[in-house]
Amino acid sequence: MAKMDARAIRKSAIAGSWYPGTPEALARDVDRCLGQVPAQTVLGDLVALVAPHAGYMYSGPVAAYAYRLLEGLTFDVVAVISPSHRAYYRDNAITELGQYWTPLGTVPVDEDLVAELARHAPVTRVPQDAEHALEIQLPFLQRTLTEGWSLLPIMMGDHGLPACRSLAQGLATVLQGRRALLVASTDLSHFHNEATAHRLDQVVVDQVNAFDPVGLADALAANRCEACGGGPTVAVMLAAQSLGATHAQVLRYATSADVSGDRSSVVGYLAAAITRTPTRP
């Protein structure tokens, strides 16, 4: 496997379009979304998040419900698992570049973890990508976590249950014993009227709240619901279970109509937290 160039930077593909392109405007946008989230509690220690990946105008207020939980927490590594919208991969793709750049600064890719994961799950190295679903999570992480964390960035090609199980097992193996956070990047149904979107999306909400990744995978395969990051969500739920998580909680659900007012063709968004019961001393 080719070694990452730690000096090479994966430049932003969406700064100035999907989110603001200057540090000041981006920080202000993220902080505004976070500031609109009421105080909330979740059961146990945080293991994983599910967050949407549309432009911040639409998905930012929903994503903030997940990322607000990170304030005051410290993690050594964050594994962000997204779908791939712009390229086809047979398995799991990871950039060869050593850093991700946003207007808020650079985030180092954890080269050692990438190499370790490749020994436990199928991984394809790619020289460059323009995937928005992964990148759009980074500014929220940069504004809520203290410095010192590294990134394990994964773009899933195969979303079938066997592929999800394989990746989840690999993630659980390499993240065991580390201060790690998993993030699944997904939007829900696309371009249905709002009533149909609510019906489809409720299936995802119910399966996440039930913490049933296999049930979610079955519902997606049977077309009873839609999620462009369905595979990442299933894989993260499975990995979180292997890491001791016992509970999942949907924090917020909304559609693009809540911003645009257009209820004839909407996209669904969900934010969720996955936790484990704290270990007693």
pLDDT at position 277 is 87
Q: Where are the domains of the chain?
A: 23-143+156-173+185-276
Q: Report which of 76, 87, 4, 63 is spatially closest to residue 251, judged by C-alpha positions.
A: 63
What would the pLDDT profile of 58-95 be if each residue is shown by its tens digit? 999 999 999 999 998 999 999 999 999 988 888 999 99
Confidence of residue 6 (pLDDT cuts 50, 70, 90): low
Phi, psi of 92 (to 5 degrees): -115, 120
Distances (CA, A) of 150 to 6, 66, 101, 146, 206: 12, 19, 13, 11, 32
Residue 210 to residue 219: CA distance in whole angstroms: 13
Task: Give the pTM.
Answer: 0.95
Give the pairing type, strands 77-83 and 150-156: parallel
What is the percent of the chain with per-residue pLDDT over 90, rounded to a whole number?
90
What would the pLDDT profile of 195-249 be if each residue is shown by its tens digit? 999 999 999 999 999 999 999 999 999 999 999 999 999 999 999 999 999 999 9
Lowest mean pLDDT among 18-22, 146-150, 201-205: 146-150
121 touches 115 (CB < 8 A): no
> Is the domain 23-143+156-173+185-276 a CATH 3.30.1330.50 member?
no
Confidence of residue 41 (pLDDT cuts 50, 70, 90): confident
Environment class of residue 225 by beta-carbon count within 10 Å: exposed (0-12), middle (13-18) or buried (19+)? Answer: buried
Which amino acid, one-letter code, is at 187? D
Which residues, in sequence order, are CB contacts of 39 under 8 Å at separation 6+?
A: none
Which amino acid, one-letter code, is at 239? A
pLDDT at position 88 is 82
Residue 43 to residue 275: CA distance in whole angstroms: 6
Residue 160 to residue 231: CA distance in whole angstroms: 7
pLDDT over 70 (residue 101) = yes
Mean pLDDT of all residues belonging to the chain: 95
Residue 146 to residue 98: CA distance in whole angstroms: 20
180 touches 73 (CB < 8 A): no
